[in-house]
Amino acid sequence: MALILQYINDFHDIFEKHGDPRTNPWPMMSSPFPTLVICLSYVYLVKVLGPKYMENRKPFNLQKTLVLYNFVQVIFSAWLFYEIGAGGWFTGRYSFQCQPVDHSKSPQTMRMVNVCWWYYFSKFTEFFDTIFFILRKKFDHVSTLHVIHHGVMPMSVWFGVKFTPGGHSTFFGLLNTFVHIIMYTYYMLAAMGPQMRRWLWWKKYLTALQMIQFIGIMVHAFQLLFIECDYPRAFVWWIGMHAVMFFFLFKDFYNQSYSRSKSAVKATQPVSTEIDEVTYKNGVMKNGYSNGHTNGRVRARTVLPAGN
């Protein structure tokens, strides 16, 4: 135990020495262990405790809660997008080709540093996506990839806020929060019930926008491998490879959802159909129900006559 505590203390000293002094005293920033504990607790909650708690209970009807939650996420994402832009990208101070981290404490610079921390915080609010699935007993939505993504992202962003708050990598946050504005708007409308279906015709374009986002992020990140820029290469690879992975996950989803579904419709003539929600977030396909929370698109599901 003494050896473990010594290792923890050594790590803490390293983070204090090399971390950005502006964010070191901020909540959750002095050490990675609080964030790590929360992430591991989230995984245990949604994979073990949550399903066990709901095992013999009826699913909760959370329609109003989901509408409110998604509305708050839209507002939060819009604020983050505006602050990241006003902190650098919309002001002409930031270069899209190479933007080193500004280590000063000027008001404009600290505005960007501040919003970096709030972007980190937003990754915890996204835990509720999974918690709501558990409370609605939609356990098939809680795939391993979904849980890993949500469980890892706060820890990943923590390193950025700890060592490089601001600079080149904030372009990721700019695009991501913009997409989240549109994405959570879609989820909010879908959570309102079947009467909103006719307003959700743009589901296909939302998926395309998510793919374009990752292309933009990987191009923006990987360009630093070919030009001189005073920005850590480790973060370039980390951000770029995240974008590559999620681009191919979304591309696979897009192909399965649209290309293959068209072929299936041509091959068969269903007797009747009902609308189900197929939710997709961060590369995971999940089945929901028509008047609940949806994180993706709506499709037609074939229903065979009774007895077939």
N- to C-terminal Cα distance for the chain?
63
Q: Would you tell me how many other CB atoms lie within 10 Å of the CB of residue 97? A: 11
CA distance 245 to 121: 23
Contact 133, 142 (CB under 8 A): yes
Contact 190, 196 (CB under 8 A): yes
Among 234, 185, 179, 220, residue whose Cα is nearest residue 74: 185
Q: Which residues are catalytic?
A: 149
Q: How far is CA 217 from CA 220, 251, 278, 296, in A?
A: 5, 15, 26, 21
Contacts of 55 (CB under 8 A, 6+ apart): none
